[in-house]
Structure 1
Amino acid sequence: MCGFIGLLKAETKWLDDSERKEFENRNNIIRHRGPDDEGYYEDEHIILGFRRLSIIDVECGHQPITYDDDRYWMVFNGEIYNYLELRESLQKQGMTFSTDSDTEVIIAMFAKKGVDTFSELRGMFSLLIWDKAEQCLYGARDMFGIKPFFYKDSDEGIYFASEKKSLFTESEQIDHEAMQHYFTYQYVPEPMTINKHISKIEPGSYFIKEKGMPLASYHYFQPEFNVKHYEDKDWIERIQSTLDQSVAMHMRSDVPVGSFLSGGIDSSLIVALAKRYHPEIKTFSVGFEQNGYSEIDVAKETADKLEVENYSYIISPEEFVAKLPKIIWYLDDPLADPACVPLYFVAREAKKHVKVVLSGEGADELFGGYNIYREPESLRIFESIPTPAKDLLARVADVLPEGVKGKSFLERGTTPLRQRYIGNAKMFEEAEKQKLLKNYVEENYYQTVTAPFYDQIEHEHPVHQMQYIDMQTWLRGDILLKADKMTMAHSLELRVPFLDKEVFKVAREIPVSKKITNGTTKHILREAASGIVPDHVLNRKKLGFPVPIRHWLKNELYEWAKNLIHESATDHLLEKHVIIDFLDEHCKGKKDNSRKLWTVLMFMLWHQIYIEKMYDISELQEDNTESKLVHI
């Protein structure tokens, strides 16, 4: 897990001293991604910079790395878990190696197979490969988008980077379309960013950039479903064996590996499987003092039954809000998912003991774990209702007052899936955004993001459509974004064994009836976990990372929120009287506006950091907070 920056120059030239210093500063601003080492390569056409977090072949894994008599040069962020198998295969074909790193395996394989290499990699990655002989630049990103990858056209050429902050200039502008989508999704949907001229490389894709030619992108992977029908015992065996192998490969490391542990089935299953290969594995959990917002007790019970060490940390509302500027700075773009805050703290605690952690991201998207996936079954009655009758029911729902029982059911049942489901989070409706945003554009309504994905999957089961939408939006825009940024903030590598190409091959074949059944989600995964994880975890209600912002915004964080709203220099972007009304309604208990308020507040804080420049960046990069570590 590392970070890089590259510049394919617009002019054939060497950088002068000041230009090189600026490039080095761009590289060093992501020092948190790789504090162990740095390296550079430059010729007349390109310059590459790298920050290394040493995980595999600690002594010899320096980057940029070269191969084939200096023809190929590469920078790479991530881990390739099948590198030993690929290395052995390449050696049988006569390829030679000077290191034991997974990095050299990639570049050697590219020298042999070219862009076909990317589809054979089992892992997480973003990378740049410069072919010096052909003066051609290649780049690729892993199939799920686990590792970030940004690019930007400029007068100097095209920049590429692991984090957007490496690409910032004083003249960066807000992309108002991206901002409008942020207030719907609580994140900026890829490939957009909140900045107008900075974009992301798509997951599962690679690009080729020849000198004098536009950047050409191609997909080597797109998620597809391929339903098969087996007996439950066969599904259970396939899931268990594939997950076990994935966890074993994700444990490959030359430094200590631990795991996050919540109260849920996903992390518990990862820990139980990891213990087979590393009996002394350490686990890490966080929670809050507020009743009902902590999974520490459940995590402790799980750790005790699995006989693993567990370290926990209680987050106070004071330090929660104190760390928000730092967290938003590390995120680059505004993100209104409160779960990124406990993730920041649990990563901080884990870093005190290990350099790599396993986590359960991706299980819900692949195995059908979200409660919303049960909705098509609950609305099946509407399939037999004639269209004219459905239209009438829709009009009835429209005139029913808010809060009347049955209104939501009628609205959902008479609204096509592609119009009602845009992913796991939906903050502001279009009518609400029209009142809130001063630069609202009607043509940029939220469905412009999901419509192309629905077109690709329109003949699949509704639950598969929902899973696909989440894989293409929520997973990479929220889940993996915060997972990468919050762990790398502490120079900690996070690995996600569920998001493995072989695990996906199994998950994509599971029928919906094996995922959503008997009143549960992830049914067949729960069956596969039975006997491996403790019983108290198997059918426990999904909580994720519960955060008490609903309570805090009425109490401990009320003054902070009110002050931020008044102080934020966003009057040209937002109608502040609308936001104040939201806050007043929430505090008086008239409505639970906590998530909408949080979406606004995180944007305002982002604006203070990146637009108003109210914070000292050097202070945001440092972390001197005293830890209240509890060893269980």
Structure 2
Amino acid sequence: GAPPLVVVFDGQVYNLPQLRRDLHSKLKSYPPVTAPVSPPIDETCQIVACLYEQLGPQCPSRLRGPFAFALWDLRRGYLLLARDRFGIKPLYYARAGGTLIFASEAKAVLAHPLVTPALNLCALPHYLTFQYFPGEESAFKNVFRLPPATCLEARDPSPAQNQGQGPGLHITTTRYWQLKFNPHPDRHLSYYVDFTGRLLKESVRLHADTGLPLGAFLSSGVDSSLIAAMLTVDRGQARTFSVNCAGGRYNELPPAKETALLLRSIHRELEIDSAMFWEALPRAIWYQDEPVADPSAIALFLACRLAAGEIKVVLSGEGADELFGGYTIYRQPASLAPLQALPRPLKQAIKQIALALPEGVKGKNFLLSGITPLERRYFGNALIFSEEEKKQLLNRELFPGGWPPPWEATAPYYRRSRRLDGLTRMQYLDFFTWLPGDILAKADRMAAACSIELRTPFLDHRLVEMAAGIPSCYKIRKGITKYVLRQAASQYLLPEISFRPKLGFPVPTGLWIGRHFANEIRELFRTSPAACYFNSSYLTGMLDRHLQGGADYGRKLWTIAVFMLWHRLYLEKGDTNFPPLP
């Protein structure tokens, strides 16, 4: 009666035709996908089952694309969970009462009667640094994320195999793929430009292979512009979608529209005002499962809603900055090199001088950064609260033994990259922390919340492996970030688009808090849960100084507000019957 293998799969496999050819003889022994059975046989699940029988837990290494899957081998009493190489698709799990519970969403794990929703208090200080909960531990106590490129194996052990784990399942995790950053300075710039263009073109073609309505997000940056251009070449005409937050430092819409006109795409755009943004906020936090205090997540949610009116699959540029060296902070190792090379006694003297300078004096932070080792100054793209600020902010009674500093979370990545140059070490850290913890977490969940699929052509493992070999002198050249990618883009785009400086996505949280959100945020800060975790007077004092113009605490206030809204929805059982958005 029951099949020997059961597979549940979320995601896409872009090399399915190749796998079908390679496994042709093996697949003959499987029921045809057209067999009249219930539930119907999915070809992707069938391919995964066949690969498993050939390769065991290494079977995910043959899959090209984003995925999370579970495979249950009834014959062996064996469970295999696996997640794609970059963590595009989520996969949570928990152990409770000798039971392993797993799901694509944390809220599904929390629905199990053996799981009680509770805050992972020990990791809260890390959230205040990174604006998300880093690593394998989620925001929920005893609920974990399966890391990218990792398999989890679970089986009922014999007494000899139990190895002290106690009754229940024997669980192990292993990586099936490891990205190695190994720059090759002996290769010419043209080699990397040529391979980047060819591999990205192939990846766009594979990611665009769908029978569903298709489009692309388009911003002012080179990443999305190049994806849209390649999609246009592949499809003839594309649908493109752009959003902008009113009141930001600059407007994304005019340059995006200029690119859309050049590509002759069917273009849609949306101006997001503060009321629209705040109305979408609780809903977006609910769909994200965990607090991620990146304000652009809400803008992305609204962009997905805009696109969902016309398409079901959207291509987007996530991953390009981490791969090709796009963040402006990646210039820092070169600018700080003279200070870093100074003898230790001279560094100590500079430190004393810098510390004596008043706050806000130009050059103070530069001097302090220049004499601080990379491992102690760079924790990723977001550094929200310093350790000194956390001492004033957190309720110290909850942490009688203190809390782990942020460099403990980043130390394993710095150890593994210790032989690389400073820029590449920063990339390495961001690739394994910031990318899955923030960028991809918001991308997949915000798209899924709007019933569309977001695909990321830059995160094809063949392209990624090639880009990991680009030397730093080609990542940033003459002060221009993402130099290799911009050169590759110049084959498709005008120079003013290919070489437009990176602007980031402008969400004016500080301005909006001052003009529109102050009362709502003050109310959040006055709740009893806020008083439990934080120093209430410090919170309100920070808000007051922000409103008076004494300092810009926009990102800090936003980080706390997102956490408190998440706490209300998940731990206080707040109302999730959201009214329809206009």
Match of 1:513 in 2: 473
Alignment of structure 1 residues 129-528 onto 2, 5 Å: 129-155=71-97, 157-168=99-110, 171-212=116-157, 213-228=169-184, 229-290=186-247, 292-438=249-395, 439-440=398-399, 441-528=401-488
Per-residue deviation, 1:560: 2.0
Q: Secondary structure at the match of 1:167?
A: helix
Match of 1:128 in 2: 70
Asked if residue 75 in structure 1 is aligned to residue 8 in structure 2, the reply is: yes
- Bigger shift: residues 388-397 or 350-359: 388-397
Alignment of structure 1 residues 6-21 onto 2, 5 Å: none
Structure 1 segments (4+ residues) deviating >6 Å: none
Q: 1:591 aligns with which of 518, 535, 551?
A: 551
**Could you tell me how far apart the structure 1 residues matched to 2:227 and 2:45 are?**
26
- Bigger shift: residues 126-135 or 279-288: 279-288
**Could you tell me how far apart the structure 1 residues matched to 2:502 and 2:462 are?**
25
**Could you tell me how far apart the structure 1 residues matched to 2:142 and 2:417 are?**
30
Q: Summarize the Cα distance change of 1:442–1:396 in structure 2 as closer, same or farther, 3 Å threshold.
A: farther
**Could you tell me how far apart the structure 2 residues matched to 1:293 and 1:262 are?**
12
Match of 2:166 in 1: none
**Could you tell me how far apart the structure 2 residues matched to 1:327 and 1:291 are?**
21
Per-residue deviation, 1:297: 1.4
Cα deviation 1:115-138 (Å, max 9, x = unaligned): 222112111111100011011000
**Could you tell me how far apart the structure 1 residues matched to 2:28 and 2:346 are?**
68
Q: Summarize the Cα distance change of 1:494–1:291 in structure 2 as closer, same or farther, 3 Å threshold.
A: closer
Alignment of structure 1 residues 523-602 onto 2, 5 Å: 523-567=483-527, 569-602=529-562
Per-residue deviation, 1:563: 2.2
Determine if contact 2:93/2:101 at 8 Å carries over to the other structure. Answer: yes
Per-residue deviation, 1:96: 5.5
Cα deviation 1:554-613 (Å, max 9, x = unaligned): 112222222222246321111111111111111111111000000011111111111222
Per-residue deviation, 1:258: 1.1
**Could you tell me how far apart the structure 2 residues matched to 1:512 and 1:251 are?**
31
Q: Secondary structure at the match of 1:434?
A: helix
Matched residue type, 2:378: Y
Determine if contact 2:9/2:69 at 8 Å carries over to the other structure. Answer: yes
Cα deviation 1:444-474 (Å, max 9, x = unaligned): 1111100111111111111111011101111
Matched residue type, 1:223: L
Per-residue deviation, 1:93: 5.4
Cα deviation 1:484-504 (Å, max 9, x = unaligned): 111110111111010111101
Q: Secondary structure at the match of 2:170?
A: coil
**Could you tell me how far apart the structure 1 residues matched to 2:570 and 2:251 are?**
32
TM-score, structure 1 as length reference: 0.85
Q: Summarize the Cα distance change of 1:576–1:443 in structure 2 as closer, same or farther, 3 Å threshold.
A: closer
Determine if contact 2:117/2:570 at 8 Å carries over to the other structure. Answer: no
Q: Summarize the Cα distance change of 1:297–1:184 in structure 2 as closer, same or farther, 3 Å threshold.
A: same
**Could you tell me how far apart the structure 2 residues matched to 1:83 and 1:235 are?**
27
Determine if contact 2:78/2:156 at 8 Å carries over to the other structure. Answer: yes
- Bigger shift: residues 345-354 or 164-173: 164-173
Unaligned segments of structure 1, at least 5 residues: 1-42, 44-68, 627-632
**Could you tell me how far apart the structure 2 residues matched to 1:286 and 1:188 are?**
27
- Bigger shift: residues 312-321 or 412-421: 312-321
**Could you tell me how far apart the structure 2 residues matched to 1:560 and 1:570 are?**
13
Per-residue deviation, 1:403: 1.1
Q: Secondary structure at the match of 2:23?
A: helix
Cα deviation 1:518-577 (Å, max 9, x = unaligned): 111101111111131233322223223211111111112222222222246321111111
Determine if contact 1:342/1:545 at 8 Å carries over to the other structure. Answer: no
**Could you tell me how far apart the structure 2 residues matched to 1:278 and 1:236 are?**
23
Q: 1:85 aligns with which of 7, 13, 18?
A: 18
- Bigger shift: residues 417-426 or 525-534: 525-534
Match of 2:55 in 1: 113
- Bigger shift: residues 211-220 or 522-531: 211-220
Q: Secondary structure at the match of 1:112?
A: helix
Q: Summarize the Cα distance change of 1:405–1:418 in structure 2 as closer, same or farther, 3 Å threshold.
A: same
Per-residue deviation, 1:277: 1.8
Match of 2:163 in 1: none
Determine if contact 1:549/1:594 at 8 Å carries over to the other structure. Answer: yes
Give the CA RMSD over aligned residues.
1.7
Match of 1:15 in 2: none
Matched residue type, 1:423: G
Determine if contact 1:76/1:127 at 8 Å carries over to the other structure. Answer: yes
Q: Secondary structure at the match of 1:571?
A: helix
Determine if contact 2:238/2:266 at 8 Å carries over to the other structure. Answer: yes
**Could you tell me how far apart the structure 1 residues matched to 2:248 and 2:461 are?**
39
**Could you tell me how far apart the structure 2 residues matched to 1:101 and 1:251 are?**
19
Determine if contact 2:135/2:409 at 8 Å carries over to the other structure. Answer: no
Matched residue type, 2:581: T
**Could you tell me how far apart the structure 2 residues matched to 1:443 and 1:436 are?**
13
Match of 1:14 in 2: none
Determine if contact 1:279/1:308 at 8 Å carries over to the other structure. Answer: no
Determine if contact 2:304/2:446 at 8 Å carries over to the other structure. Answer: yes
Matched residue type, 2:256: A
Matched residue type, 1:322: E
**Could you tell me how far apart the structure 2 residues matched to 1:504 and 1:497 are?**
10
**Could you tell me how far apart the structure 2 residues matched to 1:112 and 1:364 are?**
37
Per-residue deviation, 1:362: 0.3
Per-residue deviation, 1:253: 1.4
- Bigger shift: residues 532-541 or 396-405: 532-541
Per-residue deviation, 1:293: 4.5
**Could you tell me how far apart the structure 2 residues matched to 1:426 and 1:70 are?**
50
**Could you tell me how far apart the structure 1 residues matched to 2:439 and 2:394 are?**
26
TM-score, structure 2 as length reference: 0.92
Matched residue type, 2:411: A
Determine if contact 1:368/1:521 at 8 Å carries over to the other structure. Answer: yes
Match of 2:44 in 1: 102
Determine if contact 1:223/1:468 at 8 Å carries over to the other structure. Answer: no
